[in-house]
Amino acid sequence: MAQVLPRAWQAGNRRVPGGRVMNGQLTYLGIESSCDDTAAAIVRHQRGLPGRILASVVEGQATLHAPFGGVVPEIAARAHAERLDHCVEQALAQAGLALGDLDGIAVTAGPGLIGGVMSGVMLARGLGAATGLPVVGVNHLAGHALTPRLTDGLPFPYLMLLVSGGHCQFLIVAGPAQFHRLGGTIDDAPGEAFDKVAKLLGLPQPGGPAVEAAARMGDAQRFALPRPLLDRPGCDLSFSGLKTAVLRARDALLAEKGGMTEQDRADLCAGFQQAVADVFAEKTRRAIAIYQQENPPAPAFAIAGGVAANQAIRARLETVCAADGLRFLAPPLRLCTDNAAMIAWAGMERVLAQVVTPDDLIPRPRWPLDAEQGGMLGSGKKGAKA
Ligand code: KG4
Ligand code: ZN
């Protein structure tokens, strides 16, 4: 089996895993297959600087799952197993590197759909055994959470809202392996809610971009939709009641008029999106208040995940941050959604912080970032929530 732990990492010597001597620089292959994107990337880490993405390949599986109206775990696992090595080859070719030029391999070991996670971990272990490169297991959520460091070299500690089709949580990110969860969804993830609302209204999938486009023409005030959990203290969120309220409003329209006009759809989308933005804004204010209690020297807030692509939500949170004097960061969309560059980066951050353990490589469907807080409730459409 491949060597899992760095053999020696000594700050003075710059001796890296695998015994190679470097100049404070690491180059890792990242592998991601926890959901419905098959991805490989090569990233270079130079101490104190943002990362350099030498190659990033992402193959989506949307067309494979489209006939079933959701991600089918068996189909996802098979497609990952078939396409992963091709993605790795492509990433190496793009970077102009061979496996022998790398310092290590980082692979998503959870949370996610277990078949896909196992495909990635087995490939990484196989490559490690064949090359002698160290293999580091990475938590997929840590990949998202550390992305502002990959893109901007953001210093710890920062506040993060991770919002995707499978996840929703506020985190204080204090180190490569130090995550403190302030709250998260108790039911649906927001991207899931966008997708379901789109489905209810006959809009295409993925629902987020379709709902956002329709909302631009809509009147957000027309339908009175709830702002779930605002009446309760804390940073937990809920989106399932909001989605049901959209369903009821739609059914009322259908009963009254026998159908829906484009304007009805647009108004419902605008109302839904505004309700989500209102909830995020208020919960973000609360999360900022908790984060500020620790007097961070350079207070910053970052969003990540597919829903971070929503311009209305971004603009709203940027305003909240400006009012509280926080720097606001939203990574480019290709790094908000699932990718392997964030996995390579998170793996190198773990190696450099010397927090790699052999257990990291155990494939896990659930794997909360904040072990003290345990997992969130519910189970997303794209697998178990962390
Ligand atoms: O991070 P991601 O690519 O995959 C995971 O869920 O891990 O996020 C996909 C989710 C989908 O539910 C999609 O509808 C949502 O992000 N999304 C958006 C927008 N673009 C994508 N939601 C709201 N507004 C958008 N513009
Ligand atoms: Zn993700």
Structural domain contains residue 43 = yes
CA of 158 from ligand 1 middle (Å) equals: 23
**Are 197 and 146 contained in the same domain?**
no
**Are 295 and 175 contained in the same domain?**
yes
pLDDT of residue 385 exceeding 60: no
Give the tens place of pLDDT for each residue, 314-334: 999 999 999 999 999 999 989
Residue 51 structure tokens: 């990362």
Q: Is the CB of 165 inside a 6 Å radius of any atom of ligand 1?
A: yes
pLDDT of residue 44 exceeding 90: yes
CATH number at residue 77: 3.30.420.40
Maximum average pLDDT range among 62-71, 146-155, 161-170: 146-155
Q: Is the CB of 305 inside a 6 Å radius of any atom of ligand 1?
A: yes
pLDDT of amino acid 11 = 35
Atom 23 (ligand 1) nearest CA: 208
pLDDT of amino acid 22 = 58
pLDDT band at 337 (very low <50, low <70, confident <90, very high): confident
Atom 5 (ligand 1) nearest CA: 165
Structural domain contains residue 165 = yes
- Kindly write down the DSSP assignment for every residue of 326-367, as one continuous string: -EEE---HHHHSS-SHHHHHHHHHHHHHT---GGGGS--S--
Structural domain contains residue 220 = yes
pLDDT of amino acid 80 = 83
Structural domain contains residue 2 = no
Closest CA to 52 of 176, 134, 149, 154: 149
Residue 318 structure tokens: 């940027």
Contact in structure between 185 and 327 (CB atoms under 8 Å): no
pLDDT of residue 18 exceeding 70: no
Closest CA to 21 of 12, 34, 32, 33: 12
pLDDT of residue 1 exceeding 80: no
pLDDT band at 289 (very low <50, low <70, confident <90, very high): very high
CA of 22 from ligand 2 middle (Å) equals: 31
Backbone angles phi, psi at 175, to 5 degrees: -175, 170
Give the tens place of pLDDT for each residue, 185-236: 999 999 999 999 999 999 988 899 999 999 999 999 999 999 999 988 999 9
CA of 320 from ligand 2 middle (Å) equals: 24
Q: Is the CB of 212 inside a 6 Å radius of any atom of ligand 1?
A: yes
State which of 58, 144, 194, 314 you would mutate to test the pocket of ligand 1, scoring each by most atoms of that ligand within 8 A of its C-beta: 194
pLDDT of residue 294 exceeding 50: yes
**Are 195 and 261 contained in the same domain?**
yes
Contact in structure between 369 and 184 (CB atoms under 8 Å): no
Residue 257 structure tokens: 């008029």
**Are 247 and 350 contained in the same domain?**
no
pLDDT of amino acid 71 = 79
Q: Is the CB of 306 inside a 6 Å radius of any atom of ligand 1?
A: yes
State which of 37, 162, 164, 201 you would mutate to test the pocket of ligand 1, scoring each by most atoms of that ligand within 8 A of its C-beta: 164
pLDDT of amino acid 24 = 78
Strands 52-60 and 25-32: unpaired
Q: Is the CB of 310 inside a 6 Å radius of any atom of ligand 1?
A: yes
State which of 337, 343, 379 you would mutate to test the pocket of ligand 1, scoring each by most atoms of that ligand within 8 A of its C-beta: 337
Q: Is the CB of 206 inside a 6 Å radius of any atom of ligand 1?
A: yes
* Mean pLDDT value of segment 171-194: 95
Structural domain contains residue 381 = no
Structural domain contains residue 379 = no
| 34 to 194, 210, 356: CA distances (angstroms) | 21, 25, 20
Closest CA to 83 of 128, 45, 116, 50: 116
Among residues 291, 314, 334, the one where a domain terminates is: 334
Residue 219 structure tokens: 């009147």
Contact in structure between 149 and 345 (CB atoms under 8 Å): yes
Count of domains forming the chain:
2
CA of 352 from ligand 1 middle (Å) equals: 31
CA of 305 from ligand 2 middle (Å) equals: 6
Contact in structure between 35 and 338 (CB atoms under 8 Å): yes
* Mean pLDDT value of segment 85-100: 97
pLDDT of residue 340 exceeding 50: yes
**Are 171 and 107 contained in the same domain?**
no
Domain that residue 360 falls in: 7-154+335-368
Cα–Cα distance for residue pair 326/29, rounded to 1 Å: 33
Q: What is the mean pLDDT of the chain?
A: 89
pLDDT of amino acid 189 = 93
Ligand nearest to the CA of 143: 2
293: number of Cβ within 10 Å: 8
Residue 307 structure tokens: 């829903």
pLDDT of residue 36 exceeding 90: no
**Are 271 and 326 contained in the same domain?**
yes
**Are 263 and 340 contained in the same domain?**
no
Residue 160 structure tokens: 């993060």
**Are 35 and 142 contained in the same domain?**
yes
346: number of Cβ within 10 Å: 30
Q: Is the CB of 195 inside a 6 Å radius of any atom of ligand 1?
A: yes
CA of 359 from ligand 1 middle (Å) equals: 30
Check: pTM over 0.75? Answer yes or no. yes
Structural domain contains residue 344 = yes
Atom 2 (ligand 1) nearest CA: 306
pLDDT of amino acid 376 = 58
**Are 169 and 94 contained in the same domain?**
no
pLDDT band at 104 (very low <50, low <70, confident <90, very high): very high
Q: Is the CB of 338 inside a 6 Å radius of any atom of ligand 1?
A: yes
Structural domain contains residue 375 = no
**Are 16 and 138 contained in the same domain?**
yes
Give the tens place of pLDDT for each residue, 228-284: 999 889 999 999 999 999 999 999 999 999 999 999 999 999 999 999 999 999 999
**Are 101 and 176 contained in the same domain?**
no
- Which ranges constitute the DSSP H helices of the chain? 62-65, 73-95, 114-131, 140-145, 147-152, 190-200, 207-215, 240-257, 262-292, 311-323, 333-336, 341-353
pLDDT of residue 43 exceeding 90: yes
Cα–Cα distance for residue pair 316/140, rounded to 1 Å: 27
Atom 16 (ligand 1) nearest CA: 306
pLDDT of amino acid 77 = 82
**Are 11 and 73 contained in the same domain?**
yes
Q: Is the CB of 34 inside a 6 Å radius of any atom of ligand 1?
A: no
